[in-house]
Amino acid sequence: EPEVTQTPSHQVTQMGQEVILRCVPISNHLYFYWYRQILGQKVEFLVSFYNNEISEKSEIFDDQFSVERPDGSNFTLKIRSTKLEDSAMYFCASSPTGSTGELFFGEGSRLTVL
Q: Tell me if 106 contacts another protein by CB under 8 A.
A: yes
> Which residue's CB is nearer to another protein, number 17 or number 100?
100
Burial of 89 (0-12, 13-18, 19+ CB in 10 A): middle
Contact window for another protein (CB under 8 A) among 18-26, 63-71, 74-82, 105-113? 105-113
Site for another protein in 21-50 (CB under 8 A): 31, 33, 35, 41-45, 48, 50
Binding site for another protein (CB under 8 A): 31, 33, 35, 41-45, 48, 50, 55-56, 91, 95, 98, 100-108
